[in-house]
Amino acid sequence: MRLKIMYIDSLQKHIDHQEILHEDATTNEQKEVIQRLLLRLRLTRIKFKECIQEYPQVQLTPEDIKDIDAELDARMETLETDYKNGLKNQIKLENGSKFHKYQAILKEEKDIINRFFFLCSDDKERTEDNFIEKCFKKINVIKGPFGEENPEETIKFYQMEIMAARIRKDKELKKFIDNNERVFFLDLMKLKFFPVTPDADPMDAVYNQFISISEDYNFIATERRKAGK
- Convert the pLDDT of each residue in 24-83 to its tens digit: 888 888 788 778 777 777 776 676 666 556 555 556 677 877 888 888 899 999 999 999
Last residue of a domain, one of 59, 77, 98: 59
Nearest partner of 196 among 1, 71, 13, 5, judged by Cα: 13
- pLDDT for the residue numbered 57: 56
**Same domain flag for 6 and 78:** no
**Same domain flag for 122 and 135:** yes
**Same domain flag for 35 and 71:** no
**Same domain flag for 53 and 70:** no
Decide if pLDDT at 128 tops 60: yes
Last residue of a domain, one of 59, 75, 102: 59
Q: d(Cα 115, Cα 113) in Å, to the nearest integer? A: 5
**Same domain flag for 30 and 123:** no
Classify 33 in phi/psi space as left (phi over 0), alpha (psi -120 to 50) or beta: alpha
**Same domain flag for 54 and 67:** no
**Same domain flag for 117 and 13:** no
User: How far is it between the farthest Cα atoms of the chain?
Assistant: 97
**Same domain flag for 118 and 6:** no
Three-point CA angle 46, 47, 53, nearest 5°: 90
Average pLDDT of the chain, as a whole number: 79
Decide if pLDDT at 6 tops 60: yes
**Same domain flag for 159 and 74:** yes
- Output phi, psi for 58, to 5 deg: -85, 120
- Convert the pLDDT of each residue in 180-195 to its tens digit: 888 888 888 888 888 7
Nearest partner of 208 among 192, 190, 225, judged by Cα: 190
218-229 burial, b at 16+ Cβ within 10 Å, e below that, comes to beeeeeeeeeee
Last residue of a domain, one of 16, 40, 59: 59
Q: Total domain count for the chain? A: 2
Asked if 52 contacts 78 with a C-beta cutoff of 8 angstroms, the reply is no
Q: d(Cα 103, Cα 210) in Å, to the nearest integer? A: 10
- Convert the pLDDT of each residue in 105-125 to its tens digit: 999 988 888 887 777 666 777
**Same domain flag for 51 and 102:** no
Q: d(Cα 9, Cα 126) in Å, to the nearest integer? A: 44
Three-point CA angle 65, 20, 189, nearest 5°: 25
**Same domain flag for 173 and 223:** yes
Amino acid (1-letter code) at residue 4:
K
Query: 27: domain range?
Result: 1-59
